Structure 1
Amino acid sequence: MTVEHEPFLAETRAYCLSLPGAAERESHGSPGFFVDGKKAFVHYRNNHHGDGIVGLWCAVPPGMQQLLVSGNPELYYVPAYVGPRGWVGVRLDRGAEWGEIAAVIGEAYWHRAPKKYAKAPTEGTD
């Protein structure tokens, strides 16, 4: 059974595709988001192999997976296949705030993006 959560997919898609060099393509039967068509940074998963989870798999920086999962195991989890490589799962079916989801997506993007897309300095910094 597929769990429906299309509003989160639409928001995820819009945010991911707003990032420099980001593109979407199907990856293992679900939408995946890639930098320059090469490096995956987010995969959308809807009931992957019958697990009942609607979520995102995000390629976060080293140490972030453990921090997020230990801090909020109801929202974050270690996903199948990519979890051992440091990716974190974000449950979209648990009432997460979009701002928190977007922050994790942003971390994943900047972790995988090449230097040519370096983060712009924050306004007001010298």
Structure 2
Amino acid sequence: MTSPLDRIRATALELPETEERPSHGQPTFFVAGKQFAQFRDNHHGDGKTVVCVRVGSVDEQALLLEAAPGTYSKPAYLPTWLSINVAGDAADWDMIADRIAQSWEFAAPRRLLEAGGR
């Protein structure tokens, strides 16, 4: 069985010019030096297994938090980001992969986006 981190890693590293390195002790994914996804497992004892991704705005963040509080939460230390629950069988991996890719697009430099992006 593939772990949530393995699935997140495979999805993130498939995107152009992505690298993984630890940030604040967490597996974190970067494009052109900008963070776009971070895996957290029981971060500061919160009991959650999540991937944190960028969102387009605080309005989008608020809408998603209200629409699906069992799926989304607000991550500590990352304003205007979103945590997505990746624990258990209910995780929607197609949606998670799409959110990781969207987050990459928010962080990627224009030259990568103009070259076709993901």
User: Structures share a fold, TM > 0.5?
Assistant: yes
Query: In structure 2, the residue corresponding to 1:13 is in which secondary structure?
Result: helix
Which residue of 19, 24, 31 corresponds with 1:28?
A: 24
Match of 2:68 in 1: 72
Q: How much has 1:64 moved relative to structure 2?
A: 2.4
Query: What CA distance in whole angstroms lies between the structure 1 residues aligned with 2:48 and 2:2?
Result: 13
Match of 1:110 in 2: 105
- 1:48-106, Cα deviation, whole Å (9 max, x unpaired): 01000000111121132122111101000111111xx2000001125221001111111
Aligned length: 114
Which residue of 68, 86, 89 corresponds with 2:83?
A: 89
- Is the aligned partner of 1:40 residue 2:35? yes
Higher relative contact order (CA 8 A, sep 6+): 2
Query: What CA distance in whole angstroms lies between the structure 2 residues aligned with 1:48 and 1:6?
Result: 21
Q: How much has 1:118 moved relative to structure 2?
A: 0.9
Query: What CA distance in whole angstroms lies between the structure 1 residues aligned with 2:113 and 2:43?
Result: 33
Query: What CA distance in whole angstroms lies between the structure 1 residues aligned with 2:107 and 2:14?
Result: 15
Query: What CA distance in whole angstroms lies between the structure 1 residues aligned with 2:74 and 2:15?
Result: 25
Query: What CA distance in whole angstroms lies between the structure 2 residues aligned with 1:10 and 1:28?
Result: 19
Match of 1:124 in 2: none
Asked if structure 1 preserves the Cα contact closer than 8 Å seen for 2:53 and 2:82, the reply is yes
RMSD: 1.8
Q: Where do 5+ consecutive residues of structure 2 fail to align?
A: none
Give TM-score, length-normalised by structure 1: 0.83
Match of 1:19 in 2: 15
